Amino acid sequence: MHPAYSVIFFTTASGAGYGLLILAAIFAVGGLLPATSLLGFVVVGLALGLIGGGLLSSTFHLGRPERAINAFSQWRTSWLSREGVLAVATFLPAGLFGIGWVFLGKTTGFFGWMGVAAALLAGATVIATSMIYASLSTIRQWNLATVPVAYLGLGLMSGAVLLAVVTRLFGVHTPAVDVVAIASIVIAWGVKLAYWTTIDRLQPTSDLGTATGLGRFGAVRLLEQPHTEANFLMHEMGFVVARRHARRLRSLAHVALFALPLMLTVAALWAPAVTAAVMAVGAVGSLAVGLLVERWLFFAEARHDCMIWYGR
């Protein structure tokens, strides 16, 4: 699948935003974060900013962004519609939760409940986003249970790493954040490893023989594609990343997305505050790079069945 930058940015940024929102809500409601207005502003603002920026970027992908409102109507069947509805729905409790925290210094009671609601909706939104992909039986690298888990895991992990930076910069750091960060990195890494192992072992369920129904006559090979130059489908679904290249990028993802943030987060536990803050910033930077690579690969390694017709 063609890795469109708007969609890569959307899923990674909003994923991180939702992850941050979830953790911030849990920590704040659980009293692990002080209800100070500036911190609230930065944390909730950052989360909503990432979410909003991501959502905005996703509209760049649309042919008719001015009609985006139509996308809220089909939540009965469409994961994309559900995602939209959930994303918007999240803003309400998230906004109230933010107001309580930032303006009233309150993260409990009604505002606490709003925080919980925001966290739940955020989680649901991330799952809805992932289900857009995971529900497509046409793309076997996506049509996997690990996909929503990975999305959620990566969202939480990026949220946790972000939270670690913010808390360190604000000097309100608690080891619980690091524990969550480390745990989520390990889990997400595991999930992603499992994902990659799975897709490497995937056997195609369809081939030219089943696609054309001509398999009964022997091996089928493409002689002539319908048009000599690439068409929309080939641009959109025909993207192929060279195997070697994919390996290298995966290694990069392992290092930048998981290994380095993990090392830095662990090392920061023992580091002096300033160094730890620098390390946390480093972890975020590394994670950002890793996440973009991971998401690029998520698209680039996905093969759409309609390309079978094109002999790919």
Closest distance between another protein and the C-beta of residue 143, in Å?
11
Q: Closest separation between CB of residue 296 and another protein, Å?
A: 17
User: Toward another protein, which CB reaches closer, 30 or 204?
Assistant: 204
Interface contacts to another protein, rule CB under 8 A = 1, 61-65, 67-68, 70-74, 76-81, 84, 132, 135-139, 205-206, 208, 210-214, 216-233, 235-237, 304-310
> C-beta of 206: minimal distance to another protein in Å?
5
Nearer to another protein, 36 or 74 (CB): 74
The nearest distance, CB 118 to another protein, in angstroms, is: 23
Residue number with CB closer to another protein (139 or 257): 139
Q: Quick one: 63 or 171, whose CB is closer to another protein?
A: 63
Q: Which is nearer to another protein, 111 or 133 (CB)?
A: 133
If we measure between CA atoms, which residue out of 160, 184, 162, 164 comes closest to residue 172?
Answer: 164
* Per-residue burial over 58-97, b = 16 or more CB atoms within 10 Å of its CB, e = otherwise: beeeeeeeeeeeebbeebeebbbbbbbbbbebbbebbebb
Residue nearer to another protein on the CB measure, 171 or 224: 224
**CA–CA separation, 24 and 33 (whole Å):** 8
SS3 164: helix
Total number of residues shown for the chain = 312
CB of 179 to another protein, least distance (A): 38
Q: Residue 55 CB, nearest distance to another protein (Å)? A: 13
Distance in angstroms (rounded) separating the CA atoms of residues 111 and 105? 10
Q: To the nearest whole angstrom, how small is the minimum distance from the Cβ of residue 132 to another protein? A: 7
Rounded to 5 degrees, what are φ and ψ at 148? -60, -40
Q: For residues 146 and 195, is the Cβ–Cβ distance under 8 A?
A: yes
36 three-class SS: coil
What's the one-letter identity of residue 36?
T
For the chain, the distance separating the N- and C-terminal CA atoms, rounded to the nearest angstrom, is: 12
Chain Cα centroid distance, residue 139: 18
Cα separation, 290 vs 137, whole angstroms: 27
Q: Which is nearer to another protein, 170 or 310 (CB)?
A: 310
In this structure, what DSSP letter does residue 307 have?
G
